[in-house]
Amino acid sequence: MKPAVLVSRAIFPDIVDRLRVHFDVQDNPEDRVFKKAELIERLAGKQGVLATGSERFDAEVLDANPQLKAVCNMAVGYNNIDVDACNARGVLCTNTPDVLTETTADFGFALMMAAARRIAESEHYLRRGDWKKWSYDMFTGGDVHGATLGILGMGRIGQGIAKRGALGFGMKVIYHNRSRLAPAIEAECRASYVSKEALLRDADHLVIVVPYSPASHHAIGAAELAQMKRTATLTNIARGGVVDDAALAQALAERRIASAGLDVFEGEPALNPALLTVPNVVLTPHIASATIATRRAMANLAADNLIAALGFGPNAGHPPTPINAAALKG
Ligand code: GLV
């Protein structure tokens, strides 16, 4: 009998078919979002799950399903998985790094440019029928080329954004990260390490790419926003909760910073309603990795991980991108 697995949300049907070769698959083509009780119920008897960021795997879910061996996220971020709880129970977790780096860096750069050049705000003005005449100072924004790009969180995606800024737009790139990058990587990104205070003070365009954890919760709040230039932009493509959305909405309303670009939100898909009332913010629904090619690559990598984690396929026992490889040995 094939082992049973769950595919928690709708994904490309041909990639579900790849799983069917090895597994008895319960998929979710109707794309229901499972709350905890339903997730626990759907996981009954499953050895593995191809998951997304919209389900939370915590001790309660794991304890209700002690047969579960692998949680394979179709996302690079994995703050939806309690990795310590998985470690304690020998559950392997995987994510999808690398395949989305360039696509996500493209999007972060686009969102930053849209905020700086007021693209969404001016488009809304035009759609409302408010454009009656051209004027010299209409929707004047901040330059991107030659400006100082500040990056908080300098992992793979942060490095991709740094290269775009430095090499494509002649930007001065500064970054802050938990640990400083090796000199060769700094040189490749043309990026200088600075303190968080200097990053906030000097960035014309601040892009947040730091993973969410209790340590990065509200890394940007009222106090940090107060240190930024009044002309600065802030872009968040990391996770909701890294930025205090209420404090940001207030800073935008009071023009204490110029504008923002947000792809992720605290409590998404719900939004802090204040964000919908300020004009100087570009809002997108968590789509930074959303190109067909990249979403396929993510789904295929998550499937490769699940197949290998449960002991099938060419990488049997060695999923390509484990988060907690130690669980493999347990
Ligand atoms: C998307 O947010 C991801 O973590 O892949």
Which residue's CA is the closest to the ligand 1 atom numbered 1? 75
* pLDDT value for 304: 98
Mutate to test the pocket of ligand 1, among 9, 72, 76 (most ligand atoms within 8 A of CB): 76
325 vs 91: CA distance, rounded Å? 10
Contact residues of ligand 1, CB 6 A cut-off:
75-77, 100, 289
Q: How far is CA 269 from CA 58, 89, 103, 234, 263, in A?
A: 20, 31, 22, 20, 11
* pLDDT value for 200: 99
* pLDDT value for 327: 84
Q: How far is CA 288 from CA 4, 75, 188, in A?
A: 31, 11, 23
The domain limits of the chain are 4-97+292-329, 101-283
Mutate to test the pocket of ligand 1, among 74, 81, 100 (most ligand atoms within 8 A of CB): 100
Q: What SS3 state is found at 322?
A: strand
Distance 134 CA to ligand 1 centre (A): 40
69 vs 324: CA distance, rounded Å? 12
- Whose CA is closest to 319, among 95, 160, 132? 95
265 vs 271: CA distance, rounded Å? 6
Distance 125 CA to ligand 1 centre (A): 31
**Residue 264 alpha carbon, nearest atom of ligand 1:** 2
98 vs 160: CA distance, rounded Å? 11
With left for phi above 0 and alpha for psi between -120 and 50, is residue 218 left, alpha or beta?
Answer: left
pTM of the model: 0.97
* pLDDT value for 329: 63
Longest CA–CA span in the chain (Å) reads 72
* pLDDT value for 330: 54
Fold equal for 4-97+292-329 and 101-283: yes
Token readout for 16 is: 């579900």
* pLDDT value for 328: 73
* pLDDT value for 118: 98
Token readout for 323 is: 């988060």
Active site amino acids: 239, 268, 286
| CB neighbourhood size of 98 (10 A) | 13
CATH number for the segment(s) 4-97+292-329: 3.40.50.720
Q: What is the pLDDT along the chain (330 residues), one digit of tens a residue?
A: 999 999 999 999 999 999 999 999 999 999 999 999 999 999 999 999 999 999 999 999 999 999 999 999 999 999 999 999 999 999 999 999 999 999 999 999 999 999 999 999 999 999 999 999 999 999 999 999 999 999 999 999 999 999 999 999 999 999 999 999 999 999 999 999 999 999 999 999 999 999 999 999 999 999 999 999 999 999 999 999 999 999 999 999 999 999 999 999 999 999 999 999 999 999 999 999 999 999 999 999 999 999 999 999 999 999 999 999 888 765
Distance 2 CA to ligand 1 centre (A): 30
Q: What CATH superfamily classification does 101-283 receive?
A: NAD(P)-binding Rossmann-like Domain (3.40.50.720)
**Residue 286 alpha carbon, nearest atom of ligand 1:** 2
Which residue's CA is the closest to the ligand 1 atom numbered 3? 75
The string of DSSP codes covering 251-268 is HHHTTSSSEEEES--TTT
Identify the sign of the CA torsion 269, 298, 100, 82: positive
48 vs 303: CA distance, rounded Å? 11
Specify whether the CB–CB gap between 210 and 242 falls below 8 A.
yes
**Residue 237 alpha carbon, nearest atom of ligand 1:** 2
